[in-house]
Amino acid sequence: MKPCAVPILIAIGLTACTAREPPAEAAAPAPPPAATPAMPGSDRDAHGCIGSAGYSWCESTGKCERPWELAKEKNFDNSAEAFAGYCRNPAK
């Protein structure tokens, strides 16, 4: 009886280690795709100015400007009020 027991135990041991695939109906559904975040710099306004880069539309120059750069170039205070005042009515 001993010679038959060893092959039977080996066969049981080998079959116990095999992996079974789960039934198809038990598989979890795929999660919904997550919303992709906006790319940096893709936040353009109606004039095409990139707000996250500090650009705002200036009517007097007709282009997107960074307020602090325009204030330094045109020699006015670096404030939102001064920028708005210059871009509405440029001091020529």
Output the DSSP codes for 30-65: PPPPPPPPPPTT--B-TT--BGGGT-EEETTTTEEE
In a domain, 7, yes or no: no
* Structural domain boundaries, residue 63: 42-92
**Block mean pLDDT (10 aa), the chain, length 92:** 75 72 66 74 88 93 95 94 87 52
Record the tokens describing residue 27, joined without a space.
């598989």
In a domain, 24, yes or no: no
Residue 47 sits at the vertex; the CA angle it makes with 42 and 49, to the nearest 5 degrees, is: 45
> How many domains does the chain divide into?
1
In a domain, 88, yes or no: yes
In a domain, 16, yes or no: no
In a domain, 65, yes or no: yes
Q: What is the pTM of this model?
A: 0.54
Q: Cα 92 vs. chain centroid, distance in angstroms?
A: 43
- Determine the pLDDT at residue 79: 94
In a domain, 90, yes or no: yes
